[in-house]
Structure 1
Amino acid sequence: MKTFQLEQLRTFAAVVEGGTLEAAARTLYVTPSAISQRLKAMEDAAGQILLQRTNPARPTPAGEAVLRFARQVRQLEWDARQELGDRDGEQSRPIPLVVNADSLSTWFLPALASLPPGLGASFELHREDEQHSTQLLRTGMVMAAVTATPEAVQGCSVEALGALRYRAVASPGYISHWWPAGPELAAGSRVPVVDFDRKDHLQDEFFTAVTGAVLAAPRHYVPSSAEFAQAIRLGLGWGLLPEQQCLADLRSGDLMELAPEHPLDVSLYWQRWKIDSLLLNQLSAAVRETAAKHLR
Structure 2
Amino acid sequence: METNAEHLRTLAAVVDNGTFERAASALHITPSAVSQRIKALEEQSGRVLVRRSKPIEPTEAGAVLVRLARQVALLEAEAAAELADSAQGAAGIPLVVNADSLATWVLPALAALPGITVDVVLDDQEHTLDRLRDGTAMAAISSDREPVQGCVVSPLGAMTYRPMASRAFVERWCPDGWTPDAAAAAPMLVFDRKDTLQDRYLSGFAPGARPPRSSIPASTEFVRATELGLGWAMLPDLQADALVADGRLVPLDGAGALDVPLYWQQWSLRSTALDRVAAEIAAAATRTLRRAEASPNSD
Residue in structure 2 matching 1:107, options 100, 105, 108: 105
Q: 1:204, 1:214 within 8 Å by CA — same for their partners in 2?
A: no
Q: Which whole-Å CA distance do the structure 2 matches of 1:191 and 1:241 have between them?
A: 16
Residue in structure 1 matching 2:173, options 175, 178, 200: 178
Q: Any idea what SS the aligned residue of 1:48 has?
A: coil
Q: 2:240, 2:249 within 8 Å by CA — same for their partners in 1?
A: yes
For the aligned residues, what is the CA RMSD? 1.9
* 1:50-69 map, 5 Å: 50-69=49-68
| Residue 73 (structure 2) aligns with | 74
List gaps (5 residues or longer) in structure 1. Answer: none
| Residue 222 (structure 1) aligns with | 216
What is the total number of aligned residue pairs between the two structures?
289
Q: Any idea what SS the aligned residue of 1:149 has?
A: coil
| Residue 275 (structure 2) aligns with | 281
Residue in structure 2 matching 1:207, options 202, 207, 210: 202
| Residue 25 (structure 1) aligns with | 24
Q: 2:90, 2:117 within 8 Å by CA — same for their partners in 1?
A: no
| Residue 135 (structure 2) aligns with | 140
Shift of 1:230: 1.2
| Residue 243 (structure 1) aligns with | 237
Q: Which whole-Å CA distance do the structure 1 matches of 2:40 and 2:85 have between them?
A: 31
Q: Any idea what SS the aligned residue of 1:188 has?
A: helix
From the superposition, tell whether residues 86 and 56 of structure 1 become closer, same or farther in structure 2 (CA, over 3 Å).
Answer: farther
Shift of 1:37: 1.7
Shift >4 Å, 4+ stretches: none
| Residue 157 (structure 1) aligns with | 152
Q: 1:189, 1:213 within 8 Å by CA — same for their partners in 2?
A: no
Q: Percent identity?
A: 45
Tell me whether 1:46 sits opposite 2:45 in the alignment.
yes
Q: Any idea what SS the aligned residue of 1:215 has?
A: coil
Q: Any idea what SS the aligned residue of 2:270 has?
A: coil
Shift of 1:185: 5.2
Alignment-mate amino acid for residue 103 of structure 1:
S
Q: Any idea what SS the aligned residue of 2:160 has?
A: strand
Shift of 1:123: 1.2
Q: Normalising to structure 1: TM-score of the pair?
A: 0.92
From the superposition, tell whether residues 4 and 226 of structure 1 become closer, same or farther in structure 2 (CA, over 3 Å).
Answer: same
From the superposition, tell whether residues 132 and 252 of structure 1 become closer, same or farther in structure 2 (CA, over 3 Å).
Answer: same
Shift of 1:170: 0.8
Shift of 1:73: 1.0
Shift of 1:134: 0.5
List gaps (5 residues or longer) in structure 2. Answer: 294-299
